[in-house]
Amino acid sequence: MAGIDELPPLRDVIQRHGLDARKALGQNFLFDLNLTQKIARTAGPLEGVTVFEVGPGPGGLTRAILSLGAKKVIAVERDARCLPVLEEISDHYPGCLEVIEGDALKTDFASLVPAGEPVRIIANLPYNVGTQLLLNWLLPPVWPPYWLSMTLMFQKEVGQRIVAEEGDNHYGRLGVLTGWRTVSEMAFDVPPQAFSPPPKVNSTVVHLLPKTNPLPCDAARLEKVTEAAFGQRRKMLRQSLKPLGGETLLAKVGIDATRRAETLSVEEFVAIANAL
């Protein structure tokens, strides 16, 4: 194997443990260790850094992160079938891998490391929970966050929505919330054949860096405004925002009530949320 460590090829590992990716868990296993290293390198320097990973599965990305010198990987995995495989990786990298069996949506990640410890989040996120996990990491009450960067794989369509700006066809609630607190970019695409089983869509790796001083705003209010505005995105704002104050609210911040949600900048959405 053109390997990254002395552990067996992932295909052999999966076959030996009788693992198959389960749709109910949103699983698609990555076998190409060169690709997993590319994902890990996109995150930035890993030496001395603790990495949070969600849904490591058989550990291809975990191995890449550890091979690049991460101080520790804390991985959250729901599928008990994967734990013996991850234990083998832990044995190979003593003291460097902690696996938490549980639901990432219910995990308090910030409590897993001492305050001030450098953390990067790197994950091939399960498709069925990826967007909600991103929002959980984007919208904590305290900012700047505990993480230095997030390098996450999504379906390409979701990635396009994350990085979209006003006027873009993909622009919506997710683009506003991401653009408010981070600088994001799509790093590279991953074709379906890189996975087992191959998904029916292309995937993309998105890299996000936190803004040190985002515009002051209450996250819950911004969520409420964007949800209303894009819930009826083809309608004028005076109609879609009617439950929140409509024309009166928009007049407070000097925004034309006949505009539509996709034409508003992040700054304008923040102004509306602050005027609520």
Note the pLDDT tens digit of each residue in 229-243: 999 889 999 999 999
Domains of the chain (ranges, CATH numbers): 10-210 (3.40.50.150), 219-275 (1.10.8.100)
Task: Dump strand ranges (E) for 55-201.
Answer: 72-77, 97-101, 119-124, 147-155, 182-190, 195-196
Which token pair is 237?
A: 């704002």
Dihedrals φ, ψ of 111, to 5°? -80, -5
Q: What is the pLDDT of residue 196?
A: 80
pLDDT at 1 over 50: no
CB 172 within 8 Å of CB 164? yes
Rounded to 10 degrees, the C-alpha dihedral 258/259/261/265 comes to -140
pLDDT at 53 over 50: yes
DSSP secondary structure, 208-236, as one string: EEE-SSPPP--HHHHHHHHHHHHHTTTSB
Average pLDDT, the chain: 94
Q: What is the pLDDT of residue 3?
A: 64
What is the spatial distance between Cα 177 and Cα 169, in angstroms, rounded to a whole number? 16
CB 232 within 8 Å of CB 243? no
**DSSP type of residue 46:** -
CA distances from 182 to 38, 59, 143, 205, 240 (A): 22, 28, 11, 15, 26
Q: What is the pLDDT of residue 263?
A: 97
